[in-house]
Structure 1
């Protein structure tokens, strides 16, 4: 991945994943390890939390299109190496909360994925994405 082209977003616009996308991945255990690492990383990078949770829904029988989506996350991370959570002692204490949902975004079971993010002084402190 060192020679890959960076991506502007962690997932393509209007991307719909399905359990029927492509053929099965040859090395499932390596892919599962990658997704586990992305889940761990999503604890400090809320910008990838949604797409990591979507990929995690198809871990029983991952397909090649899912691997392409995981590789896009890696390409996105390459384009934003300095992102993280940093608080300044001089910042004002301002609390904001945002929420959103994709209305029936799953093509397999017709369920929605919703999420929220709360900010303190403009920095994310809690977030969640759930199907």
Structure 2
């Protein structure tokens, strides 16, 4: 999934049903595989740019989950212009404000960067 972020969401949803899969999950996995077979040239290309600068972007979705009102945070890390890590996570707590949600996202991003 490091070179194919276009399937990361589908794979993360499918992985939630790993321990008790149903037939519908098998069909969803087949669709992901069918998509991969039809798009062999897609993905991320890592290139040498000569610079080794590090950039990180973070964001948060305050109370974005419809089911439990928990926040979702995410961050992206680029080294030399190449995307090397990304993550999105639904937090275990409910944020009291959008500022708290952004600070949680920033803290997680800085921990990942360090």
TM class by shorter chain equals 0.5 to 0.7
SS in 2 for 1:117: strand
The structure whose Rg is larger is 2
Query: Unpaired runs of 5+ in structure 2?
Result: 91-114
Query: Unpaired runs of 5+ in structure 1?
Result: 1-41
Which protein is richer in helix relative to its size? Answer: 2
Compare relative contact order (CA 8 Å, sep 6+) and give the higher one, 1 or 2. Answer: 1
1:91 to 1:68, Cα distance in 2 relative to 1, 3 A: farther
The match for 2:57 is 97
For residues 70 and 24 of structure 2, the distance between their equivalents in structure 1, rounded to whole angstroms, comes to: 20
* TM-score, normalization by structure 2: 0.53
Deviation, structure 1 residue 110:
7.0
The match for 2:101 is none
For residues 79 and 15 of structure 2, the distance between their equivalents in structure 1, rounded to whole angstroms, comes to: 28
1:1-131 aligned within 5 A: 42-82=1-41, 83-89=43-49, 93=53, 95=55, 97=57, 99=59, 101=61, 103-104=64-65, 114-120=73-79, 122-131=81-90
CA distances 1:12-39 after superposition (whole Å, capped 9, x unpaired):
xxxxxxxxxxxxxxxxxxxxxxxxxxxx
